Structure 1
């Protein structure tokens, strides 16, 4: 897009790619606690888009949307790392949920219900669901799970910035991939639907809520519970 003077029309390009920024922000929100505001992510994402326009060179052989997506995500991750959004308390709570899940699965020989998990944690169902909202959508695979031990550096430094030790690279191991596929198949049916819509069909939480006829916050809770179930299964690897 160019102006009448033959110059790149930045405003037009920003308008064109603003929906991409919003989509990336909403998709990332499922991995973040309620304290993070989607509007804040959109604002820093727009800054990332502007930087992409400044740095993009068509001669590099990369599509602009691919290049911009990397810059937008990078800007959002930098903002999250700076604010260190996942507290140690949230990490501790998530691990407590995973431990309760493993105990129940061993004892019951099946996937436990929400009420059973709440009981194992010694809390009411409402309190448990509130807790799921607080730890919503954290990582499926942590580097500490693979290497052993837990460092003091920030969550994003450990898991989202280190490209040479990307958790997704670890999932390429065929044994782990097979185990993960099997674990997903063993999720409760509604949680399977949520995982499929979110990760395979790239739907955001609002869209998933509309399909299932439940609230967006309920989708967040079920997504968090799915991740906890999968992490409990995958820890053996």
Structure 2
């Protein structure tokens, strides 16, 4: 597309290829934690598209869509790597909860109650619930969990960077889903309800609170605790 002066019409090209940005963002968001916003990915993807328009050289022998896809996905990955999804303090507290849950499950042979987890952490039940509300356990998988011993092969590169997943990644994803389904079956009943409504039925915390007859803050606590239990179960995956 060219303007009347014979130059590339960037505005028209941005409009033409914006669906590509949205498609790549939706492909990527499906493999990321729930707290990553689709609009944020689309925004940085459009920046990547604009960058592609400025850098594209027809003489390189590649189609513009192929070139743009690489620039768009690269911009999204850079944004994800640079984002602080959870503060270090909150992440540390969530890991402490996961450690307490793991120890208690090994000792008791069943999912521990909130009061038992609080006792294992050496804090009051109220303080424990305050922590659950603060950490808002939104990440089932932390990016650093998926990093190899040498610092390479991280979660983004293995599961997000390539549109065509390799067979090993597909197998790992299948095993992960199977392990996750099995772990959810062993959650306390109320927490199973929360996870089902949140992830399967796409209900927000306010809607779930209305169904369960509790406060939205309480649903947040139950969700955070469920995430801690699931991460504890999936450690060996």
Distance 1:201 1:233 in 2: 23
Contact (CA 8 Å) 1:30, 1:205: kept in 2 or not?
no
| Structure 2 counterpart SS, 1:182 | helix
1:164 aligned residue (161, 164, 181): 161
Pairing of 1:24-103 with structure 2 (within 5 A): 31=35, 84-103=84-103
Matched, 1:142 2:142: yes
How far did 1:43 drift?
A: 8.9
Q: Aligned partners of 1:227 and 1:193: how far apart in 2? A: 13
TM-score (ref. length: structure 2): 0.61
How far did residue 85 of structure 1 move? 4.3
SS at 1:172's partner residue?
Answer: helix
Q: CA–CA distance in 2 between the matches of 1:131 and 1:190?
A: 19
- In structure 2, the residue matched to 1:115 is 115
Look up the SS of the partner of 2:223 in the other structure. Answer: helix
- State whether residues 183 and 230 of structure 1, in contact with CA within 8 Å, keep that contact through their aligned partners in structure 2: yes
Aligned to 1:104: 104
Distance 1:170 1:135 in 2: 31
Alpha-carbon distance in structure 1 between the residues aligned to 2:170 and 2:138: 18
3-state SS of the aligned residue for 2:97? helix
For residues 119 and 223 of structure 2, the distance between their equivalents in structure 1, rounded to whole angstroms, comes to 20
Closer, same or farther in 2 for the Cα pair 1:210/1:89, shift >3 Å? same
Evaluate the alpha carbon distance shift between residue 161 and residue 194 of structure 1 in structure 2; reply closer, same or farther with a 3 A threshold: farther
The Cα shift of 1:145 comes to 3.0
Pairing 1:133–2:108 present? no
Structure 1: where are the runs of 5+ without partners?
Answer: 1-27, 33-40, 55-59, 61-70, 152-157
1:173 maps onto 2:170 in alignment = no
CA contact (8 A) 2:104 2:112 kept: yes
Contact 2:132–2:221 (8 Å) recurs in 1: yes
CA contact (8 A) 1:145 1:235 kept: no
In the TM superposition, residue 119 of structure 1 has moved relative to its aligned partner by: 0.3
**TM-score, length of structure 1 as denominator length:** 0.61
Cα 1:111–1:169 change in 2 (3 A) is same
Q: How many residues align?
A: 198
TM-superposed CA distance for 1:140, in Å, is: 1.2
Q: 1:80 to 1:172 in 2, by over 3 A?
A: closer
Residue in 2 aligned with 1:205? 205
Q: Using the TM superposition, give the Cα deviation of residue 130 of structure 1 relative to its aligned residue in structure 2, in angstroms.
A: 0.7
**Aligned-pair CA distance for 1:29:** 10
Aligned residues of 1:140 and 1:231 also touching (Cα < 8 A): yes
- 8 Å CA contact 2:136–2:221 kept in 1: the answer is yes
Residues 135-177 of structure 1 deviation map (CA, whole Å, 9 limit, x = unaligned):
11232123433445597xxxxxx666871389x9676233x33
Residue in structure 1 matched with residue 234 of structure 2 by the alignment = 234
